[in-house]
Amino acid sequence: MPYAAIMVEVGDDAASSGRVTLAAHLSVRLRCRLIGVAARMPRAMPLGDGDIGGYPLPGGDIAGGDGDLYQYQIEAIDNWLEQQGRRFRDAAAPIQPDIEWRSATDFPVDFVAAQARAADLVVIAQGRSRQDPYHSLDSGAALLNMGRPVLTVPPGIEAVQAERVVVAWKDVREARRAVREALPLLREAKEVFVIEASDEGAESPAQKRVDDVSAYLARHRVNVAAASVEPVRTTAAAQLIGVARARQADLIVAGAYGHSRLGEWIFGGVTRELLRSSPICCLFSH
């Protein structure tokens, strides 16, 4: 099934305009609508004198009461959302005329996850922190809550050609979903490389798995250039990035959080490392 709509999260981070540009070009290439989305939530209490949730009052003064503080935040958020809407249209409209803007006073993760019902793919920044859930979208939380494939974009990346794509295979539900949900992009690719990292002595069953995935993709008119097993030398994420660079790929397709997110953050994991340090765009599914 082709994508009918791509959604991109817009923020005031330095990479936001580039992310919108990337999503706009991708939506043109895949012949689908582009939806921009943004949200912020007022904080219940000021952070300090003269500062209300990141919005300084004129003259550094504090408003008279809690109602004043809340209303000031609401007005500041309304202005911020209007500004982001203009930024989205300015960046996207010259590339893609079929655009739509959605915004709300809400927690970013909650709002973007809810609006994802209107999209087939959601484009977000790679790894902003969950330290400020009122103002920023945490990529890990987004992956868990979106119910849609998520394309994470590292800082400084403004285009994804996806002519060469690495599929990171692991025999779990999340990887199976990722391959299925990436099909519109994989069909457009010139070369797709299916890779599984394997411990010594487990190469034979791993090769059978990647061969099955390769055959599945071929039946969906995807040009699989190689289906191979990589011995584990460093971390799986570092190996995937290394393979992608060696193959000149600019997209990695992977399942997200094949283990629990808590387990990944305690023991480490592929999803966590890719979100933290991948220089290449990643399409995740959970």
Residue where a domain terminates, one of 118, 153, 188? 153
Cα distance between the two ends of the chain: 19
Closest CA to 175 of 239, 244, 252, 263: 252
159 domain residue, yes or no: no
Rg (Cα) of the chain, in Å, rounded? 21
Residue where a domain terminates, one of 153, 172, 193? 153
User: What residues contact residue 251 under an 8 Å CB cut-off, 6+ apart?
Assistant: 160, 162, 164, 165, 166, 185, 244, 280, 281, 282, 283
Same domain as 148, residue 253:
no
What pLDDT is attached to residue 106?
Answer: 96
121 domain residue, yes or no: yes
What secondary structure does DSSP assign to 70-116, as a single string?
HHHHHHHHHHHHHHHHHHHHHHHTTT-S-EEEEEEES-HHHHHHHHG
Same domain as 240, residue 126:
no
What pLDDT is attached to residue 55?
Answer: 47
170 domain residue, yes or no: yes
What pLDDT is attached to residue 239?
Answer: 87
Per-residue pLDDT band for 192 (boundaries 50, 70, 90) equals very high
- Structural domain total, the chain: 2
User: What residues contact residue 3 under an 8 Å CB cut-off, 6+ apart?
Assistant: 30, 32, 120, 121, 184
Same domain as 97, residue 135:
yes
90-110 pLDDT, tens digit each: 999 999 999 999 999 999 999
| CATH at residue 33 | 3.40.50.620
- Rounded CA separation 52/42 (Å): 9
Same domain as 261, residue 209:
yes
What pLDDT is attached to residue 113?
Answer: 97
Model pTM above 0.85? yes
Same domain as 122, residue 239:
no
What pLDDT is attached to residue 14?
Answer: 87
Find the mean pLDDT for residues 38-42. Answer: 96
The label of the residue with tokens 């592929």 reads 270
Per-residue pLDDT band for 36 (boundaries 50, 70, 90) equals very high
Residue where a domain terminates, one of 126, 153, 180? 153
Same domain as 132, residue 10:
yes
What secondary structure does DSSP assign to 22-54, as a single string?
HHHHHHHHTT-EEEEEEEE---SS-SBTTEETT
208-245 pLDDT, tens digit each: 999 999 999 999 999 999 999 988 888 888 889 999 99
CA distances 28 to 31, 54, 151, 152, 189, Å, are: 5, 36, 16, 19, 15
Range of the domain at 34: 5-153
What secondary structure does DSSP assign to 129-168, as a single string?
-TT-TTT---HHHHHHH--S-EEEE-TT------SEEEEE
Same domain as 177, residue 131:
no
Same domain as 227, residue 132:
no
158 domain residue, yes or no: no
Per-residue pLDDT band for 66 (boundaries 50, 70, 90) equals low
Same domain as 223, residue 193:
yes
235 domain residue, yes or no: yes
Same domain as 60, residue 18:
yes
Same domain as 216, residue 84:
no
Same domain as 135, residue 186:
no
